[in-house]
Each structure stands twice: as structure tokens, then as C-alpha cells.
């Protein structure tokens, strides 16, 4: 059997399954193939180029404007990361939209463009306030809330859907299909309440880990992950994730980032990627930094906004 490839991972922008109305709009997950010695050398060089008295060097330090040249070096072609690191980006609002469309797809009513259309046209058709309420209601409806049960009721969410069915056009058609999907949503919610161990459908860390395995395991090589500690990654969920990936995921262990410089490098990259991606999503991007980040970004990242998607290379 082929030996597994060990990678180290960390994230930025994680707020669990709270994807709407939180502190960040983008989630970034970085995976690193560097060995421990190379990762330690990278951290040492970053500290030299962007000095800080902090004991554990975190991404917020290198993201400061005064350390821009250090960030450019780290991401640039003469830096230590290109070719040995990978970034998966998730636009949180679009992730919620894709999960809403999945509810329709379960009724065999969705088409391939529905999520993009809803994400693109929803705010203008419904107005920003109603669009935000719509997203937040379904975000709450589909959250596991760490076993305490979802926060919104089916009645609350679909009361709004029923009011939007008369909107007309593409959005009205989508709301009509979503309304018909209500029985399936009720079953899904019942499942959340019955099984608090159920794998979260909204936490972006799950698809990010899956995609890291896909990326580094290209050609069938098994991948072993060393990840910064995460409360989401309980023993039960790790076991389920392992089972769902078959032989692709050889193992996943959680360690304190202070003990592994590879995870510290992943933290730097994830934090920088989240900030660059979020700035671009908000139409205030830095063209130079966006161009430097692009070679690291997974093309299958979950991203809905067309302009920033093109610049970041997210599909």
C-alpha cells in the first residue's frame, strides 16, 4: 500500500455554522505540504521581515499594511509556499444559497444555474433587508447548533418563502419550487433534532477538509491531516468523515498550533487569503495581492460573485 502524504491545515473566518450576520463573510482553509524544518524556516523568515513581539506569530500580524512587503514575499514566486500549499475559499452567503438549492434539488426541481441566479438576483429583487432576512432564516433553520437543535422553525422560514412566491420572474419561480420542497425540509429538521451527532451541513470546515484530501490525493494517494484544534472535529465526526472519504483520508489528528510550525504557516496563509478574498468580494480588493493569491486558490472553491470569482480563480 502506498504511504500517505501528511499535510498540515488551519482555517480563518470560522464561525461554525453561523454564515450570515457574523464577523466575516469569507472562510478560508489552507493546507501545507512543507516538512517541519522548512515550515520553521518560513516562520523565522516571516518574523525577520515582519517583526512582532508576539510569542505565536498569527496571520493578523502579516496582514498589517506596514508588513505588506513581507506578505508579498511570502505569497510571491520567490517565497517558500508556491507549489506546496493550497487554499480553499468559501463565500459564506453563497454557501447558504447552495444549501437552499440543495433542498430544491432533493425534489428534482433544481437546475445547474439556480444557486448562481438566486445569489446574483436575490438582493436586487427582494431588497437587501429582505434578502438578508431570507438568508438568515434558512441559515438558522439548517444549523445543528452543536446539538441544541436548529434556531428557526420551518414555519418561520416558509412564511417568508410564501410571501416571496408572488415576486415573479426567476426569483419567484425559485421560491415556488422551494415552497414545494417544504416536506423534505421538515424531514431534514426532524433528523437534526433526533440525531445531535449528525454531520453539520453548513459548517464550511467539512467541505474544505474534503477538498484538501481531493487536491493532495490526486492520483489516489492517501492523505493524512494534521489540523489545528477545532471543537467541531469531535472523534465521532472525524470517524464519519474518514468513512465518507473511503481510503482517501488516511487519518486526521488535532494538535496545538504552537507545537507544529506547519500549522502556523497554514494559519498565515489562511488568514491572508480570507482577508484578500473578502476585500475582493466587497469590491475593495488589492489587485497586486489578489494576483499573488490566485495560484494558491482551488478552482472549485464555493464562490458566487462573478467579478471577484474571475479575479481569484475560484471557478
CATH number assigned to the domain comprising residue 82: 3.30.420
Which one, of 114, 302, 290, 119, lies nearest residue 205 by Cα?
Answer: 302
pLDDT, position 222: 92
| Same structural domain, 153 and 295 | no
Please check whether residues 18 and 164 belong to one and the same domain: no
| Residue 100 and residue 52 share a domain | no
Largest distance between two CA atoms of the chain: 61
Bigger pLDDT: 110 or 272? Answer: 272
- Final residue of a structural domain among 163, 194, 225: 194
Based on the domain organization, do 131 and 206 belong to the same domain? no
User: What range does the domain containing 99 cover?
Assistant: 92-194
Q: What's the total number of domains in the chain?
A: 2
pLDDT tens sequence across 191-231: 877 776 667 788 899 999 999 999 999 888 899 999 988 87
> Region 141-149: what's the mean pLDDT?
66
Say if residue 49's pLDDT is above 60: yes
Instruction: Work out the number of other CB atoms within 10 angstroms of the CB of residue 283.
Output: 9
Q: How confident is the model at residue 147 (pLDDT cuts 50, 70, 90)?
A: very low
State the chain's mean pLDDT as an integer: 89
- 123 lies in the same domain as 186: yes
42 and 177 in one domain? Answer: no
Rounded CA separation 227/206 (Å): 12
Residue 233 shares a structural domain with residue 300: yes
Q: How far apart are CA 281 and CA 60, in angstroms?
A: 19
Whether the predicted pLDDT of 278 surpasses 60? yes
Give the pLDDT band (50/70/90) at residue 145. low
Q: Are residues 11 and 53 in the same domain?
A: yes
pLDDT at 235 over 80: no
Read off the pTM. Answer: 0.93
What does the DSSP assignment read for the chain? Answer: -PPPEEEEEEEES-BTB--SSSS-SEEEEEEE---HHHHHHHHHHHHHHS----SS--HHHHTSGGGHHHHHHHHSTTSS-TTTEEEEEEEHHHHHHHHHHHHHHTTT---TTHHHHHHHHHHHHH-HHHHHHHHHHHHHHT--GGGT--SS-HHHHHHHHHHHGGG-HHHHHHHHHHHHTHHHHHHHHHHHHH-TTSPPSS-THHHHHHHHHHHHTTTS--EEEEEE--TT--HHHHHHHHHHTTTSEEEEEEE-GGG-HHHHHHHHHHHHHHHHHHHHHTT---HHHHHHHGGGB-TT-B---HHHHHHHT--
Looking at 142, 172, 194, the residue that finishes a domain is 194
Amino acid at each position: 500500500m502506498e504511504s500517505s502524504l501528511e499535510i498540515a491545515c488551519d482555517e480563518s473566518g470560522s464561525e461554525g455554522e453561523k454564515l450570515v450576520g457574523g464577523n466575516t463573510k469569507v472562510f478560508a482553509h489552507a493546507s501545507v505540504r512543507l516538512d517541519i524544518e522548512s515550515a520553521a524556516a518560513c516562520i523565522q523568515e516571516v518574523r525577520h521581515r515582519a517583526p512582532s513581539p508576539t510569542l505565536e506569530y498569527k496571520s493578523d500580524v502579516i496582514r498589517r499594511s506596514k508588513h505588506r512587503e513581507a506578505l508579498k514575499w511570502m505569497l510571491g514566486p520567490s517565497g517558500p509556499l508556491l507549489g506546496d500549499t493550497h487554499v480553499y475559499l468559501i463565500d459564506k452567503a453563497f454557501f447558504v444559497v447552495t444549501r437552499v438549492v440543495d433542498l430544491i434539488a432533493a425534489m428534482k426541481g433544481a437546475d445547474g444555474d439556480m444557486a448562481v441566479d438566486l445569489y446574483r438576483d436575490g438582493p436586487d429583487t427582494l431588497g437587501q433587508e429582505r434578502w438578508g432576512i431570507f438568508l438568515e432564516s434558512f441559515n438558522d433553520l439548517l444549523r445543528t447548533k452543536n446539538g441544541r437543535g436548529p434556531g428557526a422553525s420551518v414555519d418561520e422560514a416558509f412564511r417568508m418563502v410564501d410571501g416571496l412566491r408572488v415576486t415573479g420572474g426567476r426569483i419567484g419561480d425559485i421560491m415556488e419550487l422551494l415552497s414545494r420542497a417544504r416536506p423534505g425540509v421538515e424531514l431534514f429538521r426532524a433528523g437534526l433534532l433526533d440525531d445531535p451527532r449528525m454531520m453539520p451541513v453548513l459548517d464550511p470546515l467539512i467541505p474544505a477538509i474534503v477538498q484538501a484530501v481531493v487536491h493532495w490525493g490526486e492520483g489516489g494517494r492517501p492523505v493524512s491531516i494534521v489540523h489545528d484544534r477545532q471543537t467541531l472535529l469531535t472523534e465521532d465526526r472525524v470517524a464519519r468523515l474518514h468513512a465518507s472519504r473511503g481510503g482517501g483520508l488516511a487519518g486526521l489528528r488535532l494538535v496545538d498550533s504552537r507545537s507544529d510550525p506547519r500549522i502556523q504557516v497554514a494559519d498565515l496563509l489562511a488568514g491572508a487569503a480570507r482577508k484578500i478574498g473578502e476585500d475582493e468580494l466587497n469590491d475593495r480588493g488589492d489587485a497586486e495581492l489578489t494576483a499573488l493569491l490566485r495560484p494558491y486558490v482551488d478552482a472549485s472553491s464555493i464562490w458566487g460573485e462573478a467579478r471577484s470569482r474571475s479575479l481569484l480563480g475560484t471557478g
